[in-house]
Structure 1
Amino acid sequence: MHWLFSPFEVSFVRQALWGGILVSLICALAGTWVVVRGLAFLGDAMAHGMLPGVALASALGGDVLLGAALSAGAMAAGVTALGASSGPSGSSGSSGSSRLSRLSHDTGVGILFAGMLALGVIVVSHSRSFAVDLTGFLFGDVLAVRQRDLLWLATALLVAAAVAALGHRAFVALSFDPRVAHTLGLRPRTAHAVLLGLVTLAVVASFHVVGTLLVFALLVAPPAAAALWARRIPTIMVGAALIGVGATVAGLLLSWHLGTAAGATIAALAVCAFFVSAGATLTARPAGLLGRRRTGATSEMGRPS
């Protein structure tokens, strides 16, 4: 059993393990809503929409994390503004807003995504360290996690847990029927903005440690795997957290013994977990939340379905 524990006797591997665990927990809280609401493209756009802020901060010698937060915040604000062009029933007061509301949500996200990515490439193309910066942005370095990174991730986890707990009822109603949320006085537009903030927090808190590709993998794959079987939102979050932590532990072990990239190995195992879960549905009848009717949302809000 020496091969199982020997990698974690090394300090930087232990740091990477704790960093991966914290990232998995944060992404489980935010990623569950990304999967339930079908916002995977938004999650990807948020992850890569940080590039302008990261590039500008790097070029000016500023705080990369602050640049990422400002860029992701601008992206979230843009998505919120486009989503607010129509009311809960899809109507709008002005002809301009009415024309804007004809665009699908994905169209608006795609336009912002392309614009932010293009702006980021323009900025970093003037930097001599373009290739190095971009590689670090995409893939991170989970084996370079420091103590202060762990403190930052732990703080972000506490904030994410508080937001997920306080906004649970509004998020559930918004996910299954925004009209119900509006009728119950849950302010779907505000709930949507807060949910975007939760996703932004998960992405910004994690990318500097593990890169945007690993963040996106942990944000979507574990919750999607759990959602095929779990009936309730909290159960999906717990399942996603366990899958993410398992992928982290197994990924670090494999990367240590096989000499592969740690972050990419963790991401690959998280994706493999989804395919295993999806393959199991071919021989079983899962009663996961994604397979239930939208009316099942009322039971998540403490009302009979």
Structure 2
Amino acid sequence: MILLEPFFAGFMLRALTGGALVAATCAIVGTWVVIRGMAFLGEALGHGMLPGVAIATLLGVPAIIGGAASAVVMSAAIGALQRRERLSYDTSIGLLFVGMLSLGVIIVSHSRSFATDATAMLFGDVLAITAGDIVVMAIALAVTAAVALAFHRSFVAAAFDPRVARTLGLRPHLAHVALTGLVTLAVVSAFQAVGTLLVVGMLLAPAVAAGHWTRSIGSTMALATAFGVVAVATGLAVSWFAATAAGATIAGSAIAFAALSSVAARATRRLRLARGAHVDARPLDLTESHA
């Protein structure tokens, strides 16, 4: 079949495998990001990786190591600003977002060796994924799934009311730190595939697309994973035949699926209403998940 032709190439098969692992990681984390309204954090961390990636590239160190270090520093700095300066969560993120992005641009502009590296930093290079990268992505997925499972009750309780979570002894502050760590891990693991600018698309779009059809957190994560994997495969196939940038095409496919899912969900609800069926318009019911 002609649509499967691209994946007979070794580098495309590695791109598909790595992209699928990233999609699964982003689906788990993205579901919570959508529920908790943390999209700005994901975007800020994606941009906040730029200084670390730039420094790592200059030093000849793997870019993902520098990006991870930069993202961790930014996550810790957000918490420090909130505690010491009594700033709001969004204000802390906004200040560090601009500061880290500015620092990254200064580093890149100061060097003349970033002509092609800058593009890979911002938009990823999914076609360059190696077997070693796949191992790292698989570990990131395993850690993400383990942490999400361990903190599931705390995440659910904190999503309703932190005071209730505190009363139940579920330590909402620790849950928030853990969720921030998962967002950081997802952003770092997706860096190779879609870069710093497009990672938010993979975090949000599959979860949004799935949320129109599911009523529990677990089912949303599962369906978001499916949407993400299909977006990866579609993006890679389109990039192969249309000669477009693979990472950007993957992210664009994910956004397109989210839009199509929304349109299809609305059409389905209208059809059921026309037939006299009762439809619950809520995209996600947290109470049906086992806390």
Q: 2 CA distance for matches of 1:62 and 1:15?
A: 22
Percentage identity across aligned positions? 52
3-state SS of 1:131 partner: coil
**Displacement, 1:288?**
6.7
| Residue equivalent to 2:221 | 237
**Displacement, 1:197?**
0.6
1:258-269 pair list within 5 angstroms: 258-269=242-253
Matched to 1:254, the amino acid is V
| Residue equivalent to 2:289 | 300
Unaligned runs of 5+ in 2: 270-278
Q: 1 CA distance for matches of 2:246 and 2:101?
A: 26
TM-score relative to the length of structure 1: 0.87
Matched to 1:81, the amino acid is A
* Closer/same/farther in 2, CA of residues 165 and 140 from structure 1, 3 Å limit: same
**Displacement, 1:63?**
3.1
3-state SS of 2:170 partner: coil
**Displacement, 1:3?**
0.6
| Residue equivalent to 1:177 | 161
Q: Which of 184, 189, 192 is residue 173 of structure 2 equivalent to?
A: 189
| Residue equivalent to 1:93 | none
Q: 2 CA distance for matches of 1:172 and 1:288?
A: 21
1:42-61 pair list within 5 angstroms: 42-61=41-60
| Residue equivalent to 1:218 | 202
| Residue equivalent to 1:90 | none
Q: 2 CA distance for matches of 1:49 and 1:18?
A: 26
3-state SS of 2:116 partner: helix
Q: 2 CA distance for matches of 1:229 and 1:78?
A: 37
Matched to 1:21, the amino acid is A
**Displacement, 1:188?**
0.9
| Residue equivalent to 1:80 | 79
**Displacement, 1:215?**
2.2
1:65-144 pair list within 5 angstroms: 65-83=64-82, 85=83, 100-101=85-86, 103-144=87-128
Structure 1 residue runs of 4 or more that deviate by more than 6 Å after TM superposition: none
**Displacement, 1:229?**
2.5
3-state SS of 2:267 partner: coil
| Residue equivalent to 2:137 | 153
**Displacement, 1:193?**
0.6
8 Å contact 2:123–2:247 — kept in the other structure?
yes
1:33-44 pair list within 5 angstroms: 33-44=32-43
| Residue equivalent to 1:228 | 212
| Residue equivalent to 2:5 | 6
Q: Cα RMSD (Å) of the superposition?
A: 1.8
**Displacement, 1:214?**
3.5
8 Å contact 2:193–2:247 — kept in the other structure?
no
Q: 2 CA distance for matches of 1:288 and 1:193?
A: 32
8 Å contact 1:231–1:287 — kept in the other structure?
no
8 Å contact 2:25–2:140 — kept in the other structure?
yes
